[in-house]
Amino acid sequence: MKGIKILERILIVIPTMLAIAILVFVLMRMMPGDPVDKMMGESGNVSIEEIQALEKEFHLDLPLFEQLKIFITGIFHGDLGVSFQERKPVWNIIIERLPATIELALGALIFSLIVAIPIGVISAVKQNSLIDRLGMAFAFLGISAPAFWLGIVLIIIFAVNLNILPVYGRSIFAYKPVHITGMYVLDSILSRNWLALKDSLRHLILPSISLGAAQAAVITRILRSSMLEVLRADYVTLARTKGLSEYIVITRHALRNALIPTVTVIGLQIGMLLGGNMIIETIFGWPGLGRLVVTSIFSRDFPVIQGAVMLYALIYVTANLIVDILYTYLNPRTTL
Amino acid sequence: MAELYITKKNSSKIIKYNKGKMFWESIKHFLKELIQCRTAFLGAIIVLSFILIAIFATFIAPHDPLKANIINRLRPPFWIDGGSITYLLGADEIGRDILSRIIYGSRISILVGLVTVGISGFIGTLLGSFAGYYRGRFDAILSRFADLLLSFPYLIFAIFLMSIVGPGFFNLIVILCFKSWVNFFRLSRGEMISEKTKEYVEAAQALGVSDIKIIFKEILPNIIHSILVLATLRVGYFIILEASLSFLGLGIQPPTPAWGSMINAGRAYMLSSWWVSTIPGIALLILVLSINLLGEGLRDILDPRLKLE
């Protein structure tokens, strides 16, 4: 019974993605502003022939339904069209920028975990102590501070005034590592390029903190409340009476179980990480997917918008699906 | 002792008197608990102050927020060399007083937060209650639609729609509500489904009370607590979202003072005049922080009371 429901959920992804594709397509065509005009740099100095040639090239002269058909059939062949602005296939543009976004999201996730897990656990173990109160205060600040403001403040403090960390971009060109995965930190480790590692880490820190602060706050609170629940459970008391050291009781028995709801929350946060990327990428000049979406919305670059939004939606839907499925196994009371 | 002499004439008056008294008692009880919970009280005071500042902005603000004064360009706040008391928190890139702009900007932020949560909360709760009570096809369709709406990361969706309909306060509210009703929908639907299994609902149904009366008079008062908590917490979220959209230039347009666009305008001067970006953000931080404190406090006050009741 459950298996069938899971299969149902997985299969529903396809019509959902189709619906999203159509939605994106329609919404974009409704935007004011002519893409051909933007392509020509809005100079207004173009001849009719050039406009017509461009329209033909990008199928903009066909009726809407035909354009939609081209787009949808293209998806199934892996062809997402060609960018209006850059004349490159959309797929290539996205693949170029995807590792940057993934690296940023991973950086934020790792930062938030490094901060949230110790604070969450200690706050729960020493409830109502000074550490607990400080931890909760920090968590509140994290959710209340807007990420983009935090990014600007961090830049002002660390880059401008103290001059320790760089302001912009992913790396200084001279130190760019060999392209293996596209993620600079990983590539520098894999190619043992320690200078590049140091450089790319320095560029990664501030954006990760800005993006991960809100994450860290949420994870801290969830972890703390589930740890509190778990620490009152019988099996923890049993472990203590068995004579196990407090450290083992906390880490191997309590923490493991407390992590279950936390992991599901983290899964849901992945969507937020992707959504919040855009502003952080804009502030830090990070050449990722989010910034691509923003600039292409402003320049009415339809194929890029379509491709990028479809990708975002796919990742989001998949993450939610995995979390939902996991959750039914972990908490038998919830149904799909 | 007067109850012994209840006649048909004054029985309804007595019942109304008692109901009215109970209402005020519960409000007094709530306020007492609010004062006792220190963090929630602090949050409530700060939020109230912001609301008052927003309402009386014209009387409080020292300068006209829209008046540009090039001589004053990028004047620092008063504690830094070059600042003056007349421009307490400094001036922005065309010389407008930052303090006044923050005061007027609070109107936008608070209005957006309250109106969005009010409208989407109302619609979402209504739809969710009916969906949870009746289930069936209505529920299935709405839930699918809600899931579909959720498959977009919020910011992209908002940027998209704002690019289409254009900036402006009304459009902003509509677009924010477009997605936010889903949270209230889900919450009220879930609560309704679980409440429906309880005995008092069965009793009411057996008594022949109509469905709509059951939903509004029996179940809704019990689930309103969690909805209120969710609403309070979402207000802060929407204030930040509005600031993010204004930051990208898609929300409230300049020269109307809005905290997000003020932060964005200051980006170009990060290296020299940090206060243009930082100070509006601090105001934002304090407002959202106090709203969240209030929401957390509300959760603590309302929840254990439920268990005791």
Question: Is residue B12 over pLDDT 70?
Answer: no
Q: What is the pLDDT of residue B208?
A: 79
Counted residue by residue, chain A has a size of 336
**Chain A partners within 8 Å of B266 (Cβ):** 152
**Chain A partners within 8 Å of B152 (Cβ):** 20, 309, 312-313, 316
Q: What is the pLDDT of residue B305?
A: 53
Question: Do the beta carbons of residue B106 and residue B57 sit within 8 Å?
Answer: yes
Q: Return the structure tokens found at A195.
A: 């200078």
Q: What is the pLDDT of residue B119?
A: 92
pLDDT tens readout for residues B80-139: 777 777 777 888 878 788 888 888 888 888 888 899 999 998 898 888 888 888 888 888
- Give yes or no for B148 touching A (CB within 8 A): yes
A16 and B151 in contact by Cβ < 8 A? yes
Nearest to B292 by CA among A254, A42, A221, A294: A221
The answer for residues whose C-beta is within 8 angstroms of residue A297's C-beta and 6 or more apart is A305, B159, B160, B163
DSSP B256: S
Question: Is residue A87 over pLDDT 50?
Answer: yes
In angstroms, the CA B272 to CA B74 distance is: 9
- Cα atoms in the Cβ-side hemisphere of radius 13 Å centred on A67: 20
Q: What is the pLDDT of residue A310?
A: 80
Nearest to B292 among A27, A144, A149 (CB): A144
In angstroms, the CA A133 to CA A19 distance is: 47
Q: What is the pLDDT of residue B308?
A: 41
Question: Do the beta carbons of residue B247 and residue B267 sit within 8 Å?
Answer: no
pLDDT tens readout for residues A235-265: 778 777 887 777 777 777 777 777 777 777 7
Secondary structure (H, E, C), chain A: CHHHHHHHHHHHHHHHHHHHHHHHHHHHHCCCCCHHHHHCCCCCCCCHHHHHHHHHHCCCCCCHHHHHHHHHHHHHHCCCCECCCCCCEHHHHHHHHHHHHHHHHHHHHHHHHHHHHHHHHHHHHCCCCHHHHHHHHHHHHHHHCCHHHHHHHHHHHHHHHCCCCCCCCCCCHHHCCCCCCCCHHHHHHHCCCHHHHHHHHHHHHHHHHHHHHHHHHHHHHHHHHHHHHHHCCHHHHHHHHCCCCHHHHHHHHHHHHHHHHHHHHHHHHHHHHHHHHHHHHHHHCCCCHHHHHHHHHHCCCHHHHHHHHHHHHHHHHHHHHHHHHHHHHHCCCCCC
DSSP B125: H
Lowest average pLDDT, out of A15-29, A214-228, B128-142, B251-265, goes to: A15-29
What residue type is B254 in one-letter code? P
Q: What is the pLDDT of residue B2?
A: 47
Question: Do the beta carbons of residue A280 and residue A210 sit within 8 Å?
Answer: yes
In angstroms, the CA A150 to CA A158 distance is: 12
In angstroms, the CA A305 to CA A83 distance is: 9
Q: Return the structure tokens found at A253.
A: 């028995």
Nearest to B19 by CA among B217, B152, B226: B217
Q: What is the pLDDT of residue A226?
A: 81
- Between residues A4 and B176, the one the model is more confident about: B176
Q: What is the pLDDT of residue A276?
A: 67
Q: Sorting pLDDT into bands at 50, 70 and 90, what band is A71?
A: confident
In angstroms, the CA B299 to CA A16 distance is: 36
Question: Do the beta carbons of residue B120 and residue B172 sit within 8 Å?
Answer: no
Nearest to A213 by CA among A75, A115, A96: A115
**Chain B partners within 8 Å of A16 (Cβ):** 147-148, 151
Question: Do the beta carbons of residue B257 and residue A303 sit within 8 Å?
Answer: no
A156 and B281 in contact by Cβ < 8 A? no
Which candidate in B47, B157, B163, B284 is best for mutational testing of the A interface (most A CBs within 10 A)? B163
In angstroms, the CA B307 to CA B303 distance is: 7
Interface ipTM: 0.77
Q: What is the pLDDT of residue B223?
A: 76
Q: Sorting pLDDT into bands at 50, 70 and 90, what band is B8?
A: low
Lowest average pLDDT, out of A324-333, B10-19, B46-55, goes to: B10-19
DSSP B107: H
Q: What is the pLDDT of residue A174?
A: 65
In angstroms, the CA B99 to CA B143 distance is: 45
Question: Is residue B309 over pLDDT 50?
Answer: no
Question: Do the beta carbons of residue B61 and residue B104 sit within 8 Å?
Answer: yes
Q: What is the pLDDT of residue B77?
A: 79
The answer for residues whose C-beta is within 8 angstroms of residue B127's C-beta and 6 or more apart is B142, B181, B185, B188
User: What mean pLDDT value characterizes chain A?
Assistant: 77
- Cα atoms in the Cβ-side hemisphere of radius 13 Å centred on B164: 16
pLDDT tens readout for residues B36-81: 777 778 888 888 888 888 888 888 777 777 777 777 777 787 777 7
**Chain B partners within 8 Å of A153 (Cβ):** 277-278, 281
Q: What is the pLDDT of residue B171?
A: 83
DSSP B66: T
Distance in Å, alpha carbon of A167 to nearest chain B alpha carbon = 10
Q: Sorting pLDDT into bands at 50, 70 and 90, what band is B304?
A: low
Q: Sorting pLDDT into bands at 50, 70 and 90, what band is B22?
A: low
Distance in Å, alpha carbon of A272 to nearest chain B alpha carbon = 7
pLDDT tens readout for residues A88-125: 888 888 888 888 888 888 888 889 889 988 888 888 88
For residue A89, which phi and psi values (nearest 5 degrees)? -60, 140
**Chain A partners within 8 Å of B166 (Cβ):** 32
Helix axes B169-196, B98-134, angle to 10 degrees: 40
Q: What is the pLDDT of residue B307?
A: 44
Distance in Å, alpha carbon of B309 to nearest chain A alpha carbon = 22
pLDDT tens readout for residues A267-323: 767 776 776 678 888 888 888 888 888 888 777 788 888 888 888 778 777 777 777
In angstroms, the CA A119 to CA A117 distance is: 6
pLDDT tens readout for residues B222-247: 777 778 888 888 888 888 888 888 88
In angstroms, the CA B165 to CA B157 distance is: 12
Question: Is residue B1 over pLDDT 60?
Answer: no
**Chain B partners within 8 Å of A21 (Cβ):** none
B289 and A141 in contact by Cβ < 8 A? yes
Bridge partner list, B91 = B97
Cβ-based contacts under 8 A for chains A and B: 109
Q: Cα separations (Å) of B117 from A214, B112, B182, B234, B285? A: 21, 8, 11, 7, 19
In angstroms, the CA A292 to CA A312 distance is: 12
Distance in Å, alpha carbon of B106 to nearest chain A alpha carbon = 15
Nearest to A309 among B154, B156, B288 (CB): B156
Bridge partner list, A89 = A82
A140 and B292 in contact by Cβ < 8 A? yes
Question: Do the beta carbons of residue B113 and residue A272 sit within 8 Å?
Answer: no
pLDDT, average across residues A135-164: 83
